[in-house]
Structure 1
Amino acid sequence: MADLPADAVQRMHGAARAIRDGAFEAAEKLLADVLQAAPGHPEALRLGGILHNQRGEHGQAQALLLRALERRPDDAYLLMDLGSAQQGLGEREAAYASWRRACELAPDEPMPWYNLGRSLQLDGNTAPAVEALQRACALAPELLPARILLADALAHLGRFDEADAQYRAALRLHPACGDAWRGLANIKMRPLTEQDRQELALQFRRNSIAEPDRIAMGFALGKVNEDHGRHAEAFSAINEANFRMRRLSPWDAAGFSVYTDAVIEASRSLPAPLDPTLGREAILIVGLPRSGSTLFEQILAAHPQVEGASELNDLGEVIRDESLRREQAFPRWVADADASDWQRLGQDYLRRTARWRAQRPRFTDKMPENWLYAGVLRAMLPGAHVVETRRDAVETAWSCFKQQFYRLPHFSCDLRDIAAYLRDCERAMALWRQADPGHIRIQPYEALLAEPEATIRALLEFCGLPFDARCLDYHLAARSVRTPSASQVRQPLRRDTARAAHYGALLDPLRAALQA
């Protein structure tokens, strides 16, 4: 900004603060004033690109950033922000090219490496994400978000000693860092010590904690208290954390049940597919979170023909984009879609997920809430196999309640809401399983505990896969597991996972809601 007049520099700083605070209209006006005084100034255009990216207007962001690059083609920060716009437009390869070029131009700047690593991690490319994030942390040891993301990525790869060290390094920077405590607590096969519990409880009582940190620390405190047999204290901490989450954005259980009814009704009459085999590459694992879905994905991913892709947003994005195109929310447009529309949508999903079939011909998509689309899959992806994981209802509900989910509003913040959501899922899936029994299967978690080999053989047969003994030793499979169960599925099968009974009457409202 060296060549800008002083008043324009002030406006630029004001615009940056306004973007940070979400005051987009004020930022837009300030930037317009700067560009009037200095037409085509690259830094003003860059801030305009950031503003449009924040609004989700990625096409406009890209246009501004490309204009700026004409003046400063070797500006690493312009390229970094351009990558964000390209990613928003679905131009994945172009985005990575921009981010990597930014790292080449400014190899000693931490932010290009951080942005590259963050995007690789979100895309499931965990090993290269670790390399980029390690570079960012080396260049800026105090950059807390980079250290947390690095720790998460290491945990996803099963490198738990290194993850533990990074989370603890983050706590040395910020002792009340909720994400660091959350990460340590999620390494479930390595419970926190009594000293950790006391330190976490001390930090949790501080008055100056930001609300996101307090919520994350509440869930972590619940976990460590449970591990130490302090169940009343565990319930209290988890209940408070959920109360704070629910206060941010309450879940509408009655409205969701009405929505489920509409989805069920829309899926009753669908056109016969043009290609009954479309989607045979896909195995969708659906149901409630914490019902054993990560474990069953790990079993399937141990098969040499299957890539475990974890939780993908692609199916929901295909439905969302079609809703935007038709200017009607799903499922209102379902009745107007013909066989060619469904085939187009199925092909779009397969195109978006093609990267997961680069090494192996089949892949798993373990997004739990995809159960909402299981009814229309017989028209959209008729060759796909859908595995609905089930676990004891009380254990599933309690596990959901004590796990922090970041997408709000979320049904898991209230025990009665969890029970209502579970009933909606089960009744919808029962109807769709009856309509398409050859492609939808219930997979009980308890059956795996009782007869591991027989259950695994039956699951592979349902998916059209030959038996492979490596699936019995699923915990040895080397892959990135990007869920809170990352540590559990790298251990042999355990039968002592039930926890709800320890809470006695505290969970009676849940039991009553499930029986209603």
Structure 2
Amino acid sequence: MQKNWLSEAKKQLGANNLAAAYDLALGQLSADKSDGDAWGIMALVALEGGNAEKAAELSEKAMAFGCRAMWLRTGYARSLLSLGRHDEARDLAAATNVNDCASPLEADTIGVVLARTGLHEKAVPFFERAVAGDGTYAQYRYNLATSLQFTGQLRAAASQYKSVLNIDPSHHRSRLALVQLEPHDDGALAQIETLFSDYASDMDAALLLGHAAARIWEDRGDHIRSLDWLLKAKKLKSQNIHHDRHWVEGIFAAAKHGSPEQSTAPSQHQSSSAPLFIVGMPRSGTTLIERILSSHDDVCSAGELPDLGLLIKQSGASGGRHILSADTLSAPYDPREVGRQYLRRTKQLAGRSVYMIDKMPFNFFFVRHIIESLPNARIIMVRRDPRDTVFANFRQLFATDFGYYNYAYDLDDCVHFVSHFNALADHWQSVLPPERYQQICYEDMIADQEGESRRLIAFLGLDWQQQCLQFHKNKSPVATASSVQVRSPIHSGSVARWKRYGDYSDQVNAAFAQNGLMMD
């Protein structure tokens, strides 16, 4: 029979009465300091109180005293995620049996951990169990829909997004996601435009609804009206964020700090897969290159991993809560230890592949660190016409609360950011050895898919496989904004797209000229 104090402590936690739950656990520990359940309740109190580090410590103590309850397991996994210990959180969640989840919340929590660490296929059964347990909770269905979308189950994803909207018509993130999966008629467009007016003072709702309207007009070929909608969508949000161009200039300058020194130390991980970093601006074709290369039998993809930047920040002991900063990029660090820890954390993801792709786009800031800390690593920099890159980033609603993407709320800020990226990419191209670093242009891949694909496979030292040309048949998950596009064969529809935006195109060209980058 369950202990009365434990039932009451869980009840108090559910009501967010942390002090009461703490007192109950403390009372139990005063009688029995080896009670794992009591230490587990303490861990959850710390977690809900915002102290993830203490929560992880107490969770480990609870498990040492024999607590194996799922409620502790889910709390511990959340703590590990908060601390950036993604590999441990991923391993813990992956080892969980969906049938051991006693509640929809437990199943959903494990699913979220799996999804956030790139294991969307494994996440789907947990989200399905959560929905089966409580189909009236919109967020459970939304979580299921996103993982279905990322695993290529687009019709099932659309069905779940519709269910979310039936439950909660104000779940505008689902409305935007659905626009990207299905065509919308005039009635649906009118509904979105009316909702935009209703939510005009809510900057987050306006952002989502305005992006949805813009996507519909873009799909209909009215590119200028689409941009008009984006400007309306972003207006309120851009007035409430702080985008600091000096900060941008600082991180790009810091990325060039010091000359990359190739490690002369012998690799301690000859049996490990070699990391393959695909880097570049978001929406520049990085996912396309990832899909082409991961179609090869000897290449797997781990998705967009935060591990590298986190390890560099930890090694350099730089201040601040953000991984990407001038301090992190320029601080002294231990390349050998960063490399060792990176390979340890990604070993399970790499499996027996010859190469494991890490497709975190902004790792282009850490190119020097990659060269220095991972002797076997290769880097592919993806570039695209800067004007198309600007419009593609402006059209994208980045799903992050970090300020890294705040440039995307303003066209001129996009130009400023992309101009600095262009200079950094030129720098890496001029100083890095071709056996470690290769550059690929999106337009070249579109024009000569087989020739460019063969060149990249040769760069990796692998034998050519014809299936690399059938990347759209690759069934592995895609957790990026390109999750729908890369399920179709290659096409030229996005080449020179910048020319479609009339006066906005002229504005972008002029802004590049002001930033010292003259366009043809």
Aligned residue for 1:135?
A: 129
Aligned residue for 1:397?
A: 390
**Deviation of residue 290 (structure 1)?**
0.6
Relative to structure 1, the CA distance from residue 311 to residue 248 in structure 2 (aligned partners, 3 Å threshold; closer, same or farther) is farther
Relative to structure 1, the CA distance from residue 208 to residue 154 in structure 2 (aligned partners, 3 Å threshold; closer, same or farther) is same
Contact kept, 8 Å, 1:242 with 1:401, in 2: the verdict is no
Aligned residue for 2:510?
A: 512
Contact kept, 8 Å, 2:138 with 2:164, in 1: the verdict is yes
Q: Which of 341, 360, 368 is residue 375 of structure 1 equivalent to?
A: 368
Distance in 2 (CA, whole Å) between partners of 1:94 and 1:299 is: 29
1:200 aligns with 2:198: no
Relative to structure 1, the CA distance from residue 77 to residue 213 in structure 2 (aligned partners, 3 Å threshold; closer, same or farther) is farther
SS in 2 for 1:442: strand
Distance in 2 (CA, whole Å) between partners of 1:313 and 1:361 is: 21
1:267 aligns with 2:258: yes
Q: Which of 155, 163, 167 is residue 161 of structure 2 equivalent to?
A: 167
Contact kept, 8 Å, 2:214 with 2:230, in 1: the verdict is yes
Moved more, 246-255 or 349-358: 246-255
**Deviation of residue 99 (structure 1)?**
8.5
Relative to structure 1, the CA distance from residue 14 to residue 129 in structure 2 (aligned partners, 3 Å threshold; closer, same or farther) is closer
Q: Which of 172, 188, 194 is residue 178 of structure 1 equivalent to?
A: 172
Distance in 1 (CA, whole Å) between partners of 2:193 and 2:48 is: 36
CA offset digits 1:329-378 (Å, max 9, x no partner) = 323433xx5xxx31221121111111222142211111110000112322
Distance in 2 (CA, whole Å) between partners of 1:178 and 1:233 is: 21
Aligned residue for 2:323?
A: none
Aligned residue for 2:342?
A: 349
What amino acid does structure 2 have at the position aligned with 1:446?
E
1:301 aligns with 2:285: no
**Deviation of residue 177 (structure 1)?**
1.1
Superposed CA RMSD: 3.5
Distance in 2 (CA, whole Å) between partners of 1:86 and 1:14 is: 21
Distance in 2 (CA, whole Å) between partners of 1:208 and 1:421 is: 28
Q: Which of 442, 445, 450 is residue 448 of structure 1 equivalent to?
A: 445
Distance in 1 (CA, whole Å) between partners of 2:198 and 2:211 is: 16
Aligned residue for 1:24?
A: none
Relative to structure 1, the CA distance from residue 36 to residue 211 in structure 2 (aligned partners, 3 Å threshold; closer, same or farther) is farther
What amino acid does structure 1 have at the position aligned with 2:276?
I
Relative to structure 1, the CA distance from residue 69 to residue 248 in structure 2 (aligned partners, 3 Å threshold; closer, same or farther) is farther
**TM-score, length-normalised on structure 2?**
0.84
**Deviation of residue 283 (structure 1)?**
1.5
Moved more, 423-432 or 78-87: 78-87
Contact kept, 8 Å, 1:219 with 1:404, in 2: the verdict is yes
Q: Which of 457, 460, 463 is residue 460 of structure 1 equivalent to?
A: 457
Moved more, 420-429 or 145-154: 420-429
Contact kept, 8 Å, 1:74 with 1:105, in 2: the verdict is no
Distance in 1 (CA, whole Å) between partners of 2:43 and 2:203 is: 30
What amino acid does structure 2 have at the position aligned with 1:497?
S
**TM-score, length-normalised on structure 1?**
0.85
Q: Which of 476, 479, 484 is residue 481 of structure 2 equivalent to?
A: 484
Aligned residue for 1:430?
A: 426
Aligned residue for 1:122?
A: 116
What amino acid does structure 2 have at the position aligned with 1:490?
R
**Deviation of residue 444 (structure 1)?**
0.7
1:217 aligns with 2:209: yes
SS in 2 for 1:303: coil
Relative to structure 1, the CA distance from residue 506 to residue 43 in structure 2 (aligned partners, 3 Å threshold; closer, same or farther) is farther
Relative to structure 1, the CA distance from residue 244 to residue 275 in structure 2 (aligned partners, 3 Å threshold; closer, same or farther) is farther
Give the unaligned 5+ runs of structure 2: 321-325, 515-520
Q: After superposition, where does 1:147-166 map in structure 2 within 5 Å?
A: 147-166=141-160
What amino acid does structure 2 have at the position aligned with 1:182?
L
**Identity of matched residues, %:** 24
SS in 2 for 1:389: strand
Contact kept, 8 Å, 1:83 with 1:96, in 2: the verdict is no
Distance in 1 (CA, whole Å) between partners of 2:36 and 2:202 is: 35
Distance in 1 (CA, whole Å) between partners of 2:192 and 2:36 is: 46
What amino acid does structure 2 have at the position aligned with 1:318?
L
Contact kept, 8 Å, 1:286 with 1:387, in 2: the verdict is yes
Give the unaligned 5+ runs of structure 1: 18-26
What amino acid does structure 1 have at the position aligned with 2:184?
L
Contact kept, 8 Å, 1:315 with 1:349, in 2: the verdict is yes
**Deviation of residue 312 (structure 1)?**
1.2
Distance in 2 (CA, whole Å) between partners of 1:71 and 1:440 is: 50
Aligned residue for 1:22?
A: none
Moved more, 55-64 or 118-127: 55-64
Q: How many residues align?
A: 495
Contact kept, 8 Å, 1:76 with 1:103, in 2: the verdict is no
